Structure 1
């Protein structure tokens, strides 16, 4: 019995010895396997990263960014491997623990490392986000620079094209063929619309063309009577429909000085601020034309059609409107010294606050014309029909109304000094009772 017990004890001791050897062999095997895995992982990862870097550096334009990304990825993967697998094993192997205690310790260490790793990943993610913003901003700056370069190139190309078109248009303008000249005129108009830089040069070229081809007085015999040349009319049309005008996009006046514009059709044209000094517009049509602020000194509008035209603030001396039709025309604040309106049709015209010193309206028919606030020094209305004319607040010094028809004319608050009313018809005392009268020659009936 005792012998049997001894055998059992010996067997137990032997079994424990074998178990310990087995555990030792297992631990040794586990270490070898771990070492093999670590060696294989390091070699594989290194090989993969080297190949990837080589390919990316050869193909990708942003080599620096790719290299930095791969390096960060390598560091991150290595960090995860070392801290998740290697460190817990090293920490546990240095202590004598039961398998359960070993497992619990490894899990505790891994939990702590997981939290640390999570924090680190969040920090890396934030840094990556900031880096992404930086590279996005950098790409935007590059795109902006490329856009500016593209726009510069486009402008240079457009300027080159405009220059070429400009040269051809001027060449066509001097051609002997009328058709080609007309093409040159309209080409210049398109250039003026497309290029603000060349706008005023086009205007100067067209006005110079008119001055050269249609000077006044003419330098040669007229080829055709009562008709303006076609190319001159075309150039005037371009000027008349331009979108800008003097002091409204143009710093200077268009120069049509001493030009022959007889029989021209300038209906509704924009001639604001144009210099028409000594120009001849006899028998021309200017219905609803805008001539505000124009210079009309010694200009000739004889028999011209100026119905409903705008002549506010025009400047002129000895301007000829004889026989012209100025029905409903607006000459408010016009400065027309010694202007000639003999036999003109000016019914409904507005001369309010105009300076008509020494102007001559003899024989004209200004029915319902307004001269309110006008300066009429030495103005001649002899034989004029001034029915229902308005002279309120006008200043009349040495004004001549001899034999004029003044029925219904209003002189309220007007200043009448040395005015000649000899032989007037239709004037009553009530019409001038509110005027200031000084040394005037009144008819016997008053």
Structure 2
């Protein structure tokens, strides 16, 4: 083709000079050679890329098999290695993401079911803690639900802004768990038990907390905008600085709850009876009509709870612990 095609193309121009004719043919040949060379290069790159993808998939399959074997090992250190290896594979391979999530969550549901006895606070095992860390280190799509319903996660601890968005924790127990700054946006926590848990600064926007137990929970500074708090128990809870704008608060129990600096602007079904039982409404943002009637009937709720007596008691505690408080001379 490189021999006759240039001759055919050049003949159309009726070149009579032999030297010019030869130069034109050679120019066509050089151009065709470059085109064919470029095509061959692209074809080679395509097949090389395909081979690399196949090789990578083979490596991931091998790693997946090895991680599952480690996960099933009786020795804790090997089991933990398998859990964290599965977590890394889930980040690298979209194809293996959901199978890995389902394997890990099925293990949690089987090995750590919730204990309905309120007197029992059985803390989670080391491998369950590791699985929870892996789950909280992923951006979970909302195309499917990660099912951790009715599981025991008492005493669990997550740090570094963990992400549990879109996870289902219906009926699960988080007693004394440390979930500070956790992302629980749009999470289903219906009937969950957070008694005495630490959720400071957490994101609970749009979360379903219907019937949840949050007694004595530390949830100050949390974002609870648009959350469903129907029949939620906030007895003696610390909600200092929490954002509850447009949350649904029907029949929620705020008895003895610290609501100072909280924002209830636009909250639905929030009543005088609910807030009159709170420990403090100091600097709390409320809809005007509700705030006026509460200030009229219970003005003491709006007073600054940090009195000189409280400061004195705290200074005494610091002194007893060996701390030297700063004082002006």
Q: TM above 0.5, one fold?
A: yes
Alignment CA distance shift 1:147-1:427 (3 Å): closer
The aligned runs of 1:20-419 (5 Å cut-off) are 68=3, 119-217=17-115, 227-242=123-138, 244-247=139-142, 251-267=143-159, 268-377=161-270, 380-384=274-278, 385-392=280-287, 410-411=291-292
Q: CA deviation at 1:425?
A: 3.9
Q: Which structure has the bigger radius of gyration?
A: 1
Q: CA deviation at 1:383?
A: 2.8
Higher helix share: 1
Alignment CA distance shift 1:191-1:308 (3 Å): same
Q: Distance in 1 between matches of 2:22 and 2:179?
A: 80
Q: Distance in 1 between matches of 2:228 and 2:22?
A: 82
| Number of equivalent positions | 289
Q: CA deviation at 1:272?
A: 1.2
State the SS of the aligned residue for 1:166: helix
* Unpaired segments ≥5 residues, structure 1: 1-63, 73-115, 397-409, 429-446
Q: Which has the higher contact order (CA 8 A, sep 6+)?
A: 2
Does the Cα contact within 8 Å between 1:373 and 1:393 map onto a contact in 2? no
Q: CA deviation at 1:241?
A: 1.6
Q: Distance in 2 between matches of 1:421 and 1:350?
A: 21
Q: Distance in 1 between matches of 2:288 and 2:62?
A: 59
Does the Cα contact within 8 Å between 1:338 and 1:356 map onto a contact in 2? yes
Q: Distance in 1 between matches of 2:266 and 2:229?
A: 15
Q: Distance in 2 between matches of 1:362 and 1:235?
A: 36
Q: CA deviation at 1:427?
A: 7.8
Does the Cα contact within 8 Å between 2:281 and 2:301 map onto a contact in 1? no
Alignment CA distance shift 1:117-1:370 (3 Å): closer
Q: Distance in 2 between matches of 1:300 and 1:381?
A: 22
Alignment CA distance shift 1:127-1:218 (3 Å): farther
Q: Distance in 2 between matches of 1:197 and 1:129?
A: 50
Q: CA deviation at 1:246?
A: 3.6
TM-score, with normalisation over the residues of structure 2?
0.80
State the SS of the aligned residue for 1:346: coil
Q: CA deviation at 1:180?
A: 1.3
Q: CA deviation at 1:154?
A: 1.5
Aligned to 1:25: none
TM-score, with normalisation over the residues of structure 1?
0.60
Q: CA deviation at 1:127?
A: 1.5
Q: CA deviation at 1:388?
A: 2.5
Does the Cα contact within 8 Å between 1:352 and 1:374 map onto a contact in 2? yes
State the SS of the aligned residue for 2:55: helix
